[in-house]
Amino acid sequence: MSRYLIQFAYDGGSFSGYQIQPNALTVQEELEKKLSILAQRKIEVVGSSRTDAGVHASQQFAHFDCPVPIQKDWVYRLNRMLPHALAVISIEQVADDFHARFDALSRTYHYWIVRKKTPLRRHDTYWFEAPLDLEAMNAACQILFQYIDFECFSKVKTDVFTFDCTIQKAIWTEEGDFLKFTIQANRFLRGMVRAIVGTLLEVGEGKLKPEDLHQIIQSKDRNQAGRAVPAHGLHLVEVKYK
Amino acid sequence: MSRYLIQFAYDGGSFSGYQIQPNALTVQEELEKKLSILAQRKIEVVGSSRTDAGVHASQQFAHFDCPVPIQKDWVYRLNRMLPHALAVISIEQVADDFHARFDALSRTYHYWIVRKKTPLRRHDTYWFEAPLDLEAMNAACQILFQYIDFECFSKVKTDVFTFDCTIQKAIWTEEGDFLKFTIQANRFLRGMVRAIVGTLLEVGEGKLKPEDLHQIIQSKDRNQAGRAVPAHGLHLVEVKYK
């Protein structure tokens, strides 16, 4: 029995999220089904991050154990067996105790906003035209680094033992007609990035001041933070391992 | 009565082409419907180019006559009335005898190929992994400039009076994981770009030699040229006027 790390990418709009659930098309189930066909036995995968319904990934990982040796052509064959919305990038052997979720040092997400209606980018960016003060939004980002408990940005229904996250990067940049929010942390809570983006947009619109972030974070109350922005602007873009 | 030029963009995957037809969602019909609501009378638009079902446009134009003055907020309102797949960029007044189709000096199309499976670009690029000799494909492009009758690349069912086109630009470029074909001409025949791309791909795969283009074009026979590539990789990107 050897352990393997599979790297893949997907259009979240075509799936009910990463994690398997009954009566819904999920990334995990699609991967397991097709890997099981190739291995001719049941394969279970453990993902690095459980992205919500609608959230995209350009770099996501999962590990799995397989008693038969992986053939060189599996990436090629998987890409032709899987739906167009899910692509396998690579499969490589890892240590037997490697864990895709627990060994990940950090995850990086991008949230894309498009400033004018752009038909071909409507599936992967959030169309938002209101004027925004980017400087104020980046000033608010600086406050995120001063805290580790982010319960205020977590979905209320959650099964985590701690709300502590170490945010390593949080910055807004302008790229032509697009605004890109980059956030990197050791871990994220459920709905956290979309709640942070929603709150930062309120700062950008002048409805909140950057320093209001202190009170919001200290409240540990989801109702104090801004609304969650739509899932389709969110992309998991990097997972770092040792 | 004044004449206006409307500039717009669309995701061709959501429409059965530009031109109105019964029992199908078309770009022209959507535009006319929403403009008629704002003008409170029937508005008819005349497009610069009749793109086929599935073909995208980042810059397309149409003219229309309207007896009531266009309000400044029409672009804003149209974008909120039209489906997400269709965006209005601008509306400006033009001369009363301006014609969106006949006054266009040239149209430019891009055809995008992606070299590896890329879920988020599957709607607007053609996934094609086979090795390609780009140099041979560009050598074949040079031959296009030596001809004006392109009947060999035209759909057989067509109502045009002449197959003459002046090709002003035709070149393949590599951009990361993508190949982009740029072609500019005064006019294009039905299915022409997709037939040219299909033929050039056969050159790239070594199934045809660049100089075989001479015989194909001279034959004036659609069966001599390559297959038509899928519509979803094709984008109308520029229409030039005086």
C-alpha dist (Å) from residue B149 to B49, B166, B189: 19, 9, 10
Domain membership flag for residue A99:
no
Residue count (chain B): 242
Mean pLDDT over residues A7-22, rounded? 96
Sign of CA dihedral B149, B150, B156, B160: negative
* Both tokens assigned to B126: 């053609």
d(CA B106, nearest CA chain A) in Å: 23
Asked whether residue B114 falls in the same domain as residue B63, the answer is no
Q: What's the domain range around A41?
A: 2-94
Q: Are residues B152 and B51 in the same domain?
A: no
- CATH code of the domain covering residue A66: 3.30.70.580
C-alpha to C-alpha distance for A24 and A18, rounded to whole angstroms: 11
The answer to whether B58 and B236 are in contact (CB under 8 A) is: yes
Residue A16 lies in a domain: yes
Of A148-162, B24-38, B80-94, where does mean pLDDT reach its minimum?
A148-162
Per mean pLDDT, which range of A234-238, B23-27, B154-158 is the poorest? B154-158
- Assess if residue B25 is contained within a domain: yes
Q: What is the DSSP code string of B125-174?
A: SEE--S---HHHHHHHHHHHTT--B-GGGS-SS---S--B--EEEEEEEE
Same domain, A77 and A114: no
Quote the longest CA-to-CA distance of chain B. Answer: 58
Q: Each residue of B76-85: pLDDT tens digit?
A: 999 999 999 9
- Rounded to 5 degrees, what are φ and ψ at B72? -60, -30
Within a domain: A101: no
Distance from CA of B91 to the nearest CA of A (A): 15
Q: Is residue A100 part of a domain?
A: no
Q: Are A123 and A231 part of one and the same domain?
A: yes
CA B57 to chain centre: 7
Confidence bin at B117 (pLDDT 50/70/90): very high
Burial A44-70 (b: 16+ CB within 10 A, else e): ebbbbbebbbbbbbbbbbbbbebeeeb
Q: In the predicted model, is pLDDT for residue B157 greater than 90?
A: no
Domain final residue pick, A40, A64, A94? A94
Kindly state whether residues B140 and B36 are assigned to the same domain.
no
Beta bridge partners of A6: A62, A91
B111 — contact with chain A (CB < 8 Å)? no
Confidence of residue A156 (pLDDT cuts 50, 70, 90): confident
Check whether residue A110 and residue A56 sit in a common domain: no
Across all residues in chain A, what is the average pLDDT? 96
Residue A170 has pLDDT above 90, yes or no: yes
Give me B103's structure tokens.
């006054």
ipTM for the whole complex: 0.92
Q: A79 — contact with chain B (CB < 8 Å)?
A: yes
Residues 11-40 of B with CB under 8 A from A: 11, 14
- Calpha distance B81→B86 (Å, rounded): 10
Is A162 inside any structural domain? yes
Same domain for B180 and B110, yes or no, is: yes
Please determine, for residue B159, whether its predicted confidence score (pLDDT) is greater than 90. Answer: no
B71 within domain boundaries? yes
Q: Which pair of structure tokens corresponds to residue B21?
A: 């037809």
Q: Which residues contact B18 (CB under 8 A, 6 or more apart)?
A: B26, B27, B28, B47, B49, B50, B51, B57, B60
Q: Look at A119 and B79 and tell me if their CB atoms are within 8 Å.
A: no
Cβ–Cβ of A120/B87 closer than 8 Å? Answer: no
Say yes or no to pLDDT of B160 above 90: no
Q: In B32-131, where do the E strands start and end?
A: 45-47, 56-66, 86-94, 104-114, 126-127
Six-digit token string for B48: 């610069």
From chain B, the residues in CB contact with A85 under 8 A are 119, 122
Find the closest chain A residue to B118 by CA distance. A87
Enumerate the H helices of A66-145 as residue ranges: 74-81, 134-144
Q: Which residue has the tokens 């929010």?
A: A181
pLDDT-based confidence at A225, cuts 50/70/90?
Answer: very high
According to DSSP, residue A149 is labeled: B
Q: Are residues A122 and A78 in the same domain?
A: no
The domain spanning residue B195 has which CATH number?
Answer: 3.30.70.660
Domain termination site, one of A66, A94, A122: A94
Say if the Cβ atoms of B79 and A11 lie within 8 Å: no
Residue A158 reports pLDDT greater than 80: no
A76 has binding-site annotation: no
Do residue A115 and residue A67 come from a single domain? no
CA-CA distance, A211 to A216, in Å (whole number)? 9
Chain B touched by A58 (CB under 8 Å): yes
- Number of domains making up chain A: 2
- pLDDT at position A159 over 90: no
Q: How confident is the model at residue A114 (pLDDT cuts 50, 70, 90)?
A: very high
**Residue B218 and residue B155 share a domain:** yes
Q: Is the pLDDT of residue A91 over 80?
A: yes
Q: How confident is the model at residue A128 (pLDDT cuts 50, 70, 90)?
A: very high
Q: A112 with A232, same domain? A: yes
E-strand stretches of A54-208: 56-66, 86-94, 104-114, 126-127, 167-175, 178-185
**Calpha distance B172→B178 (Å, rounded):** 10
Cβ–Cβ contact B123 with A under 8 A: yes
Quote the minimal CA–CA distance from B114 to chain A in Å: 13
Residue A113 pLDDT level (bands cut at 50, 70, 90): very high
pLDDT in tens, B39-91: 999 999 999 999 999 999 999 999 999 999 999 899 999 999 999 999 999 99
Nearest CA in chain A to B235: A120
CA dist B72 and A164 (Å) reads: 50
Tell me the two tokens of residue B235.
Answer: 């984008």
Of B85, B116, B120, the CB nearest to A124: B120
| pLDDT score at B158 | 72
Is B87 found in the same domain as B110? Answer: no
CB B85 within 8 A of CB B57: no
B56 touches chain A (CB under 8 A): yes
* CA-based nearest residue to A122, from A201, A8, A205, A13: A13
Q: Is residue A81 part of a domain?
A: yes
Last residue of one domain, picked from the residues B48, B63, B94: B94
